[in-house]
Amino acid sequence: MIEAPQSFVVSEECGKAAWQHGFRRALGEQDGWAGFASTTAQGTIWLAAAGSSGPWFLALDHAGVEAELGLPTASMSGPGLARHALSDLSKLYAVLPRLYQLAVSLPDAPLHAFREKVAGLPQTTEAERMVIQRIGQDVFRAGLMDYWERRCPLTGITDPALLRASHIVPWAKCASDAERLDVHNGFLLSALWDAAFDRGLVTFDDEGKPQFSTALSKEARIELRWHRSIPITNRHRIYLALHRGKVFDR
Full DSSP string of 132-143: HHHHHHHHHHHH
Please compute the mean of the pLDDT values over residues 189-210 and round it to a whole number.
Answer: 95
Instruction: Look at residue 249 and tell me whether its pLDDT is greater than 90.
Output: no
Rounded CA-CA distance 104/120 in Å is 24
Please compute the mean of the pLDDT values over residues 74-86 and round it to a whole number.
Answer: 95
Kindly list the strands in the beta sheet with 45-49, ordered across the sheet, starting from the edge strand earlier in the chain. 25-30, 33-37, 45-49, 56-60, 82-86
pTM equals 0.87
Residue 102 carries which side chain, given as an amino acid letter?
Answer: L
Instruction: Identify the pLDDT of residue 65.
Output: 95
The DSSP letter of residue 233 is -
Cβ contact 169:179 at 8 Å: yes
With bands split at pLDDT 50, 70 and 90, how would you rate the model's confidence at 245?
confident
Return the SS3 of 206. Answer: coil
Per the prediction, the chain carries an average pLDDT of 94
Runs of H (alpha helix) within 62-176: 63-69, 89-103, 109-118, 126-147
Instruction: Identify the pLDDT of residue 246.
Output: 66
Instruction: Look at residue 250 and tell me whether its pLDDT is greater than 60.
Output: no
pLDDT in tens, 131-159: 999 999 999 999 999 999 999 999 999 99
